[in-house]
Structure 1
Amino acid sequence: MSYTRSVLVTGGTTGLGFQCALDIARKHPEYQVVISSRNDPNNAAISINTTLKQNNVTFLPLDLSDLAKVRSFAEVWETNNFPPIQALVLNAALQFPNEIHTNAAGIESTFAVSHVGHALLFHLLYAHLADKARIVITSSGTHDPAQKSGLPDAVYKTAEDLAHPPPEMIKIDGRQRYSSSKLANVMWGYALDRRFQSIRRQGKKNLTVVSMDPGLMPGTGLAREYNAFLRFLWVKIMPKILPVLRVLIGSSNIHSQKESGENLSRLAISPDVEGESGTYFEGNKKIPSSVDSYDEEKQEDFWGWTLKHVATNEEELRTFELVN
């Protein structure tokens, strides 16, 4: 079959990403849906194809923590000659609750995967985006201290602090690194939207970007670094008592992976949100993001830091800026 468009879902082999990819593949059998993660031990692509009795889902390995491997992934994308990208779903994330972890380049791992790897991936695949392509960023309500999520409040001073935490930030609760990375996601999305607006004014591609909080989703792989008891509660018990959790926590923003996956899919492909850009969603509702996320000076500082750390030369730096 000749596919008309492609969709890439990072972290697409399990949990939220898997459910998002499943929904997109079901609704658009004419799309080539590519799911990526470091590995695919459960043969997620085969599982989706078998469930749907289709063959439009493909797995490609991607390690977002390693920028060299992100570049290799982009080369493989070129080699496969996939059709233009209709939706780029930047979903993959991880969380280390205790001691700090860094990647091979010395960048804190939560930030490296949630933002730095995704940013480079976007820039390398930018030329393959279709007109009216959508960028969808999986953020989290934990980025907003006003939501009182139970995680330590997100903090953004500089991107450099997130990438290479100074001594006073080395021993903080690792979950704060996660919430702060999700604040960074939203800020980067707003900076990207300003550039998309400029591109549209120039009569070039009509591109959009939104961020989404999928809510609390027990059972996902996000807790894989927790101890055995907490992993057991997260994977085996909590998914079965969602109504109880909503009452105990006092929030309706607690969902199954399927519910949140379909909300993420909606932002990627549904006609009813076509044209939405520079906005933040909690599930299927558009809401304000955190107060800190709207600081344009910090957004631009973050954008500039990102370009300098993902571009390898002056030519790439100019290209990645997107707007002359």
Structure 2
Amino acid sequence: MANSTRSILITGGTTGVGFYAAAEIARNCPDHCIVIASRKDADQSAKAINDKLRQNNVQFLPLDLGDLKNVRSFVETWKEKHFPPLSALILNAGLQFPHEIHYTADGFEATFGINHVGHALLFHLLQPYLAHEARIVITASGTHDPAQKSGLPDAKYATAEELAHPTGKELTVDGRGRYSNSKLCNILWTYALARRLEKLPGKKWTVVAFDPGLMPGTGLAREYNAFLRFLWHHVLPPIIPLLRLVLFHNIHKPSESGASLVWTALDAKEKAANGIYYEGRKHIKSSVNSYNEADQEELWAWTVKTLAATETERHQFEVVN
């Protein structure tokens, strides 16, 4: 990888849609350094991709998005390894806790903390390592949109602080509702960042949100009970074509959604699109609430204030210089 011209980072790249996307990118970009980041790589995913392609341009770096010290340590490691400039940053990792409330190492509600806060800090700290032309893709979900009737509780946004540190009745919110809320935050933050990138001089950075659809067989159900995990991993995957026909069009194999994620990140024509919401390979409207600019700015301001450790970082995190 010493001769790599660019880097691409994928969080959650060891399993599911992230793994298939990493393999496809490695195949299409043999001259790029592909880094997959997750808490662990139990299946040696990076090695598996390299062995299959007979290449050596994929590597694994440990990253715990639920621990902000670990996120900072990850970026220090990135700096020390002198990776080539990042041409694509794919913020794909996500967790869902369907039952009791969980917290991150920093005391944030874990779904919000991992799906939004950890990713936001990672982006901000990696800004100096982005190439002149860079694509940021955030894996969101159609569950954020009540109009899609996903079966999850409707996403609602009041304040970021309420999501980060729920109190009172907010402590009893269904964990699946916390997931849909976090996915709404992914899109609110995407639109807030997109406005700033449009004003950024001297750079060609774009950011979009991507809905991979429902993907039975992925690790998203790992916190569910044994029966539901069995259905998710063994019963539903073989009948995806039938589910797509009789239930909802946006149900896919992880390999299919992985290919769409790669297209969203790397397609030459799409790379110019900024502030767009994708359902697979289609530009569609996100939820009505996701276009509330006041909510976008409230989330943005809270995130910068919470994550910036110094005034210098605050200025950097604001993106517009």
Q: Taking structure 2 as the reference length, what is the TM-score of the superposition?
A: 0.98
**Which residue of 2 is the match for residue 245 of structure 1?**
243
**1:268 paired to 2:265:** yes
Structure 2 Cα separation of the partners of residues 170 and 248 of structure 1: 36
CA apart distance, 1:236: 1.0
One of 302, 307, 317 as aligned partner of 2:304? 307
Structure 1 Cα separation of the partners of residues 90 and 55 of structure 2: 21
Structure 2 Cα separation of the partners of residues 76 and 87 of structure 1: 18
CA apart distance, 1:103: 1.2
Aligned length in residues: 320
**Which residue of 2 is the match for residue 259 of structure 1?**
256
**Which residue of 1 is the match for residue 287 of structure 2?**
290
Deviates most, 7-16 or 163-172: 163-172
CA apart distance, 1:51: 1.0
Q: Secondary structure at the match of 2:302?
A: helix
CA apart distance, 1:248: 3.5
Structure 2's unaligned 5+ residue stretches are none
Q: How does 1:36-185 map to 2 (within 5 A)?
A: 36-185=37-186
Output one character per residue of 1:217-248: Cα deviation in whole Å (capped at 9) or x when no partner. Answer: 00000000000010011011111100221234
Structure 2 Cα separation of the partners of residues 72 and 314 of structure 1: 20
Structure 2 Cα separation of the partners of residues 274 and 264 of structure 1: 12
Output one character per residue of 1:84-116: Cα deviation in whole Å (capped at 9) or x when no partner. Answer: 001000000000000100112210001111010
Structure 1's unaligned 5+ residue stretches are none
Q: Secondary structure at the match of 1:271?
A: coil
CA apart distance, 1:257: 0.2
Output one character per residue of 1:169-210: Cα deviation in whole Å (capped at 9) or x when no partner. Answer: 1111100000000000000000000110010xx3x1110000
Q: Secondary structure at the match of 2:252?
A: coil
Q: Secondary structure at the match of 1:76?
A: helix
**1:211 paired to 2:209:** yes
One of 254, 276, 280 as aligned partner of 2:277? 280
Structure 2 Cα separation of the partners of residues 131 and 320 of structure 1: 17
Output one character per residue of 1:17-74: Cα deviation in whole Å (capped at 9) or x when no partner. Answer: 0011111000000000000000000000000001111110000000000000000000
Q: Percent identity at matched positions?
A: 58
Structure 1 Cα separation of the partners of residues 299 and 105 of structure 2: 22
Structure 2 Cα separation of the partners of residues 30 and 105 of structure 1: 38
Superposition misfits of 4+ residues, deviation over 4 angstroms? none
CA apart distance, 1:313: 1.6
Structure 2 Cα separation of the partners of residues 236 and 103 of structure 1: 30
RMSD of aligned residue pairs (Cα, Å): 0.8
